[in-house]
Structure 1
C-alpha cells in the first residue's frame, strides 16, 4: 500500500535529521553560554565532522588565476565580515559543543588580517576543550615575518600554496611578484620547529606547470616537506577546462618515470591526500584527486566563510549565515540547532567532475578553501572590484523581511504555518491553466468519441476531488472545509483552458486548492486523450485571483 505523499516526505525528513550522541548538559548563569555537549557532530550518512575551516578574510595580496577572476571579486564590506570575538565564539561552539578537533584558518590570505596572530592565540585556549590542531593555509608571501610569533601563539601546522619553482612563472600565475619571499617563508617554517610537517600545495595545470612535477618532488629529497599535488578545480571565472586538468594518475606516472615510490598510511582516515614517499627521500608527496577521485564518503570538514556563511560542501552552492544569528542575540543552543539543520542537508556526494564544471560556485577566494537557508542576501550598490588597495564596495547583507519564506523557520527547517491568530474570513481563489491538445483531440472531445468517455465531465470531477484532497498532496497545506469548488473549461481550436474557483470560510486561503484543481483536471484530460496525442503540453498554470486574506491578489 502506498503511503500518502506527505507521510513519505516527513519520513524522509526524519531519516535525514542529524544524529547526536549526548554526554551531558553543561549549565552556567548565562543562557547564551549554556551548551549541550555531544561527543561528535554527525551527518545523516554517518560521517563525523571534526574539521572546521574558517576564512578570516576575502582579501588577498596575490591574484592566482585559478583562485580569483582576473578582474577581481566584489568584496563584502568590513562590517559584514566576522569580527574576532564572533570567530572565537563560533570556534568555541564547534570545539566544546560539537566535537571539532582541527581548525584551519584560510582566506583570501589570512595573514593580511592584522589580528591573525591574536586569533591563533585565542584558539589555542580551546585546546583545553579538545582542540588538537590549529593550522593555517597561506600563500606564504608575508609568512616568514610572522611564523615565529604564530608558533609561539600555538600554531601547529602550515600549508603554503606554491605552483611553480620559477620566479617568472610565479609572476605569471599570481599576477604579482614575490617568489623569493614565499620560498624564504618555507625555509623559516622548517626552522620554526612546527609540531606538524610543513606542507606545500601545488595545483597542477596541463601546459602550465606539469613540467615541474619532478622538481617539486625533489624538494622532499633533503627537506621534511610534504608536497601535495592538487587537481585543478572549477570555480567561477577561473577558466577551468577538462583539457587543463592534469589528473592524479598522470602525476604519479610522471613521478614513477624517474623514481620508485612507496605508499604511506594516512595521518587520519578522513585525510583527502594519498601519501607516498620516494625511496631515500626525507619528505613526502601527496595527491588530492578532487576531480577524478571521490572521497566524499570520508568527508569530515565544514567551512565558514569570512562573512560568516557556513558551507557544508566545497562544491555545493548551499550556505547558511551564522553571522546574522550571532548579531541577533541567538543563544548557543539556537546556533547549534542551526548548524545541525545545515549539516542535515549535506548530500552523500558531490555531482562529479563534469557536472561540477558546469555548475555555479563562488570563486575560490570567497570560499576559503560555503539550498541557502540563510535569512540574508548580499547586494551590490556599486560594481566595485577588489584591487588589493583597501576597502571597496558598499554591499549590504540584510534580512529578507517580508520576503522570508513562510514555511521555513529560523533554523532552516520546513514547518506548517501557525494560523491560530488569523481572522476567520471568506476566502476565494481562482487559478487557471492550459493544455495544448492539437485539433484532432479537440474534435474527438467535441464529438464525444474519446474511448475512455466524457473527457470534460471526468476532468471536472477529478479537479473537484483534487482540490478537496490538497492537504494530502501538498504536505504543509492546512486541511480546509471548502464551501464551493467549480471548474470551467474553455475549448479552443487546439487547446483547452481550465479554470478552477474555490471558496471557504476559514483562517487561511485556498490558492493551493485552486491550483491543485487545475493541475489534476489538466492531467486527467491528458490521461484520457493520450492515445490520440502523447505530445500534449500542460502549461501556464497560475493563480489569477485571491481575496479575503491579509492582502488580495489579482492578475490583470
Structure 2
C-alpha cells in the first residue's frame, strides 16, 4: 500500500480536497524514503478510496449511459434479448455528472462512455460537454457500434470527445448482419472514415474473434492498418450471461498472433503503458497498428485500473465479477460525498487479485454484456423489452402500499409461552448435529463457517417485521403526510441498501452478491400497524436469510425514525424468518406456529 493505514484513516476524515495531500504528508513522515522515489517517478498522491488491497490505482472509469442499443450482437446478449431496467431506475444526467465529478475529484483522469449504445442517448452531447469541464480529467472517450457515428461525429468532436472505439466484427457485409442481427455495415465504415478524416489517431476498432465465424478475417483486418490510422484490437471471446460461450469458440491470443506472423513475420511488438489492456503490435511500414485483448488466455488483472458504473447506477470493480454495489440508491437517499466515497472505497477494497478464470466465469451468474458495458461494444434489444426481475443487480420493489384482504393481516406480537414451547418442541425433532452452533469451533470460539466446498445454488429467503404505530402516526404514514415525507419509500430504499451491507453489519456473515432484493408493505388499519416483508435472492454457497432479516429490520427501524416525531409509543415486533430455499434444508414457517 502506498499510504500507511494511519495516514488513510486520518485522511478519510478530512474534506476531499485535502485528503490526498494529507495522506501523502503522513506517509512521508512515517516513511521518509518514500518522497524522493515518488518525485523521481513523477507520481502524485492518489486517493485511498480508489486504491485496492493490492496497490492498484483505479484512475479509469467506464460509465454506461444506457442499456438500449440499435444492434443485437450475438456475443454480448442472449438470442431472446434482455429485459431493460425502467427509465426511472437509470441514472439521470445530473446523477451521471455528480458521480463523474466525485471520481475525478479522487484521481480518475480518464472516462469512457459506453452502453448499450451511448450515442442513442439524446443528451450525450451535453454529457460530454459537461464532463470536459471537470478539472483533472485528461481523456474522454466513447465506445460505439458506429451506426450513428458519422452523423454525430462533428458535434462530438466539438463537445470535446478525445478518443473513439468502434465495434466491427466482420468486413463482409452479410456476415456483419449475421453477427449483429441488423443492417448497418456501410454506416459503420463511413463512421470509421469520418473519424480518421477529423483527425482521431488512432481510431480504435474492436473486433471480437469467434471461431467458425470471423477468425478467417484476421489478415484482412490487419491489412486495414496499412494506410489508415487505425488500431485494430482483436478481443478474445468472453463469457457473459446468455451468449452461449464455450471454450471451442474462443480463438486465443497466441493462435491469432501465430496466424498473423505467418503473413507478416517481421511483426514487431510496441511498448505499452503499465495499465494498457492491449498487447500492441505493428507491421513495419504500416500507418496503423494492432492489439490483442487477452482477458481469457493471459489476463492483465495485476495492472487493472478500471472501474465501471452500470446504467442503473451500480459500481462494478471487475468486469467478470458478479458483485455490485448501488451508488444510485445512496445518491437518491441524499448521501453526502463522504458517504459515497466510503461505499466506493469499500467496494474497491474488496476487489480480488484476479478474475476466476474463463471456465469458472462461464459458470458464474453475471449480467449479459449489454448491461455491463464491456471491452467490445455491447449491443442489445429494442425498446419493447421491459424490466426483468431476474437481472443480476436489479432491485424490484413497489412503493404503493398493498391493501390487505379482510382478516388476512394478523399481528403476532403477543407471543406467549405456549407458542414458544410449540416452536421449541418442533426444533427438538432435529438431529443433534443440526443443533450444534455453526459459528463456534470445538474450543467454543467464534469462527466463520467454511463454505468453500459447497456448490453454488439459487437461494431465496423471506423475512418479515411488524411496526405498531398508533392511530395518528398510522394515518399520517398512510396518507403520506408525515413531516419527513413518504415513509414507506424511504424504508424500502433503506431495507434494500441494508440487505447489501449485511456482511459489514454482522461480523461472521459471508459477503453475498444479491441477484434480487425487494421490500413490500401491508397496512393493518385495525392494529394501526405496518407489516414489512423482505425477500432476497442470490446464487451462491450460503443462504440469504440474514440479508432478508436485516432488510426487514432496517426497514422497520426506518419507519420508526420517520414516525417518531409524531409518537415514541411505537413497537417493532415479530421480526422473523418466514422461509428459505435452495440450501441443504429448506425452511417454511408452519402456520400452526402462528396461532
TM-score bucket (shorter structure): 0.5 to 0.7
d(CA) in 2 for partners of 1:353, 1:467: 36
Map 1:487-526 to 2 at 5 A: none
* Contact map agreement 2:146 2:188 (CA 8 A) in 1: yes
Cα distance change, pair 361–467 in 1 and its aligned pair in 2 (3 A): closer
Cα distance change, pair 85–390 in 1 and its aligned pair in 2 (3 A): farther
From 431, 434, 442, the equivalent of 2:431 is 434
Matched residue, 2:56: 47
d(CA) in 2 for partners of 1:155, 1:123: 10
Map 1:304-453 to 2 at 5 A: 304-369=309-374, 387-389=381-383, 392-393=386-387, 397=395, 430=424, 433-434=430-431
Cα-to-partner distance string for 1:437-462 (whole Å, 9 max, x where unaligned): xxxxxxxxxxxxxxxxxxxxxx99x9
Cα distance change, pair 271–388 in 1 and its aligned pair in 2 (3 A): same
* Contact map agreement 2:277 2:300 (CA 8 A) in 1: yes
DSSP 3-state at the match of 1:85: helix
Map 1:471-482 to 2 at 5 A: 472-474=445-447
Question: Cα distance, 1:182 vs. partner?
Answer: 0.1
* Contact map agreement 1:101 1:131 (CA 8 A) in 2: yes
Cα-to-partner distance string for 1:79-118 (whole Å, 9 max, x where unaligned): 110000000000000001x200110000000001011111
* Contact map agreement 2:69 2:381 (CA 8 A) in 1: no
Matched residue, 1:185: 191
Cα distance change, pair 391–64 in 1 and its aligned pair in 2 (3 A): closer
Question: Cα distance, 1:19 vs. partner?
Answer: 5.6
Cα-to-partner distance string for 1:243-298 (whole Å, 9 max, x where unaligned): 010000010011001102111011x2111100000011110100111110021111
Cα distance change, pair 18–50 in 1 and its aligned pair in 2 (3 A): farther
DSSP 3-state at the match of 1:137: strand
**Unaligned residue ranges in structure 2 (runs of 5+):** 22-45, 400-415, 450-544, 547-571, 578-588
d(CA) in 1 for partners of 2:160, 2:132: 6
Map 1:253-332 to 2 at 5 A: 253-259=258-264, 260-266=266-272, 268-332=273-337
d(CA) in 1 for partners of 2:144, 2:76: 13
| Bigger share in strand | 1
Q: How many residues align?
A: 399
Cα distance change, pair 35–120 in 1 and its aligned pair in 2 (3 A): farther
Matched residue, 2:489: none
d(CA) in 1 for partners of 2:441, 2:260: 67
Cα distance change, pair 399–327 in 1 and its aligned pair in 2 (3 A): farther
**Unaligned residue ranges in structure 1 (runs of 5+):** 1-14, 28-33, 371-385, 402-424, 437-458, 477-541
Would you say 1:158 and 2:164 are equivalent positions? yes
Would you say 1:86 and 2:95 are equivalent positions? yes
Would you say 1:62 and 2:62 are equivalent positions? no
DSSP 3-state at the match of 1:183: helix
Map 1:534-545 to 2 at 5 A: none
DSSP 3-state at the match of 1:214: helix
DSSP 3-state at the match of 1:135: strand
Cα-to-partner distance string for 1:312-347 (whole Å, 9 max, x where unaligned): 011100000000111111101100100011111111
Cα distance change, pair 324–207 in 1 and its aligned pair in 2 (3 A): same
Map 1:115-130 to 2 at 5 A: 115-126=123-134, 128=135, 130=136
Question: Cα distance, 1:22 vs. partner?
Answer: 4.7
TM-score under structure 1 normalisation?
Answer: 0.66
Cα distance change, pair 84–254 in 1 and its aligned pair in 2 (3 A): same
From 216, 241, 246, the equivalent of 1:236 is 241
d(CA) in 2 for partners of 1:67, 1:80: 22
* Contact map agreement 1:120 1:153 (CA 8 A) in 2: yes
Matched residue, 2:528: none
Question: Cα distance, 1:357 vs. partner?
Answer: 1.5
* Contact map agreement 2:440 2:447 (CA 8 A) in 1: no
DSSP 3-state at the match of 2:361: helix
* Contact map agreement 2:441 2:447 (CA 8 A) in 1: no
Cα distance change, pair 301–466 in 1 and its aligned pair in 2 (3 A): closer
Matched residue, 1:515: none
d(CA) in 2 for partners of 1:146, 1:467: 64
For the pair shown, the structure with the greater C-alpha radius of gyration is 1
Map 1:166-185 to 2 at 5 A: 166-185=172-191
Matched residue, 2:82: 73
d(CA) in 2 for partners of 1:17, 1:64: 49
